[in-house]
């Protein structure tokens, strides 16, 4: 990456980071584009070099933060000795939920606003390499453990929707139970999702 490209990335990352902070502190509707560029220390015209409007920025912030989260989860996974697709999936799930428990603002913003359309875009766009790397790892992990999946994308969609919806209520509202009480049930459900979408048999 050259100096010009590096400078562009720094400006774009500054806008994304500033937007996330202001959206979570003030709320999306109360945050203006002027607020964001002022917080990032950039000129207002710079904003439109990277984003169409505030809604476009919001979608990209969601993808940006989700990509960071999954990338960090994969990095932590590499530090551990795990020998099955199922255990890798459960490890990443636990990592994400732990981050949500420690950062409620991140969970509220990502889990509440992340749609499959936004998430899928991050996998196919070179703009979000962290998310693309995570999806590549997901596919490579299935290949590594000889998992024959009928629809990898649909299985991932089901898993992400389940984790997002259940963790949101359990962590923020302790409803219907706390996340600690719910986690064993979530793990068991994830195991059965793998069985449904693949040729895997239940673990002993």
Residue at 56 is within a domain: no
Domain boundary among 14, 30, 51: 51
Query: Which range (2-6, 99-103, 145-149) has the least confidence?
Result: 2-6
| 184/166: higher pLDDT | 184
DSSP character at residue 28: T
Averaged pLDDT for residues 101-129 = 72
Residues 69 and 160 in one domain: yes
In a domain, 57, yes or no: no
The reply to whether 43 and 76 lie within a common domain is: no
Residue range 19-48, pLDDT digits in tens: 999 999 999 999 999 999 999 999 999 999
Q: Are residues 16 and 112 in the same domain?
A: no
> Is 107 inside any structural domain?
yes
| Higher local confidence (pLDDT), 147 or 67 | 147
Calculate the average pLDDT of the chain: 87
| Residues 83 and 141 both lie in one domain | yes
Highest-confidence segment of 66-70, 89-93, 105-109, 156-160: 89-93
Pair 38, 96 in one domain: no
What pairs with residue 121 in β-bridges? none
Residues 70 and 137 occupy one common structural domain: yes
Question: The domain containing residue 159 runs over which residues?
Answer: 62-197
Q: Are 116 and 131 in contact (CB under 8 A)?
A: no
Q: Does residue 98 lie in a domain region?
A: yes
Residue 202's pLDDT band (cuts 50, 70, 90): very low
Q: Over pLDDT 70: what percentage of the chain?
A: 86
Give me the CATH number covering residue 1. Answer: 1.10.10.60
How high is the pLDDT of residue 126?
56
Does 24 reside within a domain?
Answer: yes
Q: Which of 191, 167, 4, 197 is nearest to 87 (CA)?
A: 191
Q: Are residues 74 and 7 in the same domain?
A: no
Q: 167 vs 84, 88, 118, 178, 183, CA distance in Å?
A: 24, 19, 19, 9, 9
Is 203 within the bounds of a domain?
Answer: no
26 & 72 share domain = no
- pLDDT for residue 5: 73
Mark whether 112 and 163 lie in a shared domain. yes
Q: Are residues 95 and 182 in the same domain?
A: yes
Query: Could you tell me which residue, 112 or 8, shows the higher pLDDT?
Result: 8
Tokens at 6, concatenated: 């590096």
- Do residues 111 and 193 share a domain? yes
Dump pLDDT digits (tens) for 46-70.
999 999 999 999 988 888 888 888 8
Q: How many domains does the chain have?
A: 2
The residue behind tokens 């428990």 is 101
204 within some domain: no
Residue 72 and residue 138 share a domain: yes
**What is the full DSSP assignment across 183-198?**
HHHHHHHHHHHHHHHB
pLDDT number for residue 114: 65
């Amino acid at each position: 990456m050259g100096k010009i490209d590096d400078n562009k990335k720094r400006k774009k990352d500054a806008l994304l980071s500033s937007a996330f902070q202001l959206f979570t502190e003030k709320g999306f509707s109360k945050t203006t584009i002027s607020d964001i560029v002022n917080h990032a220390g950039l000129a207002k015209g710079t904003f439109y070099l990277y984003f169409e409007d505030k809604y476009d920025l919001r979608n990209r912030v969601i993808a940006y933060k989700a990509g960071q989260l999954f990338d960090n989860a994969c990095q932590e996974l590499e530090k551990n000795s795990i020998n099955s697709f199922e255990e890798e999936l459960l490890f990443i799930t636990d990592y994400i939920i732990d981050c949500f428990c420690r950062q409620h603002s991140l969970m509220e913003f990502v889990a509440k606003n992340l749609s499959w359309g936004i998430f899928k875009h991050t996998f196919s766009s070179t703009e979000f390499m962290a998310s693309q790397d995570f999806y590549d790892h997901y596919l490579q992990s299935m290949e590594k453990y000889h998992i024959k999946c009928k629809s990898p994308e649909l299985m991932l969609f089901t898993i992400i929707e389940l984790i997002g919806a259940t963790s949101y209520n359990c962590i923020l509202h302790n409803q219907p139970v706390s996340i600690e009480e719910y986690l064993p049930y979530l793990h068991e459900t994830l195991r059965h999702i793998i069985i449904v979408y693949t040729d895997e048999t239940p673990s002993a």
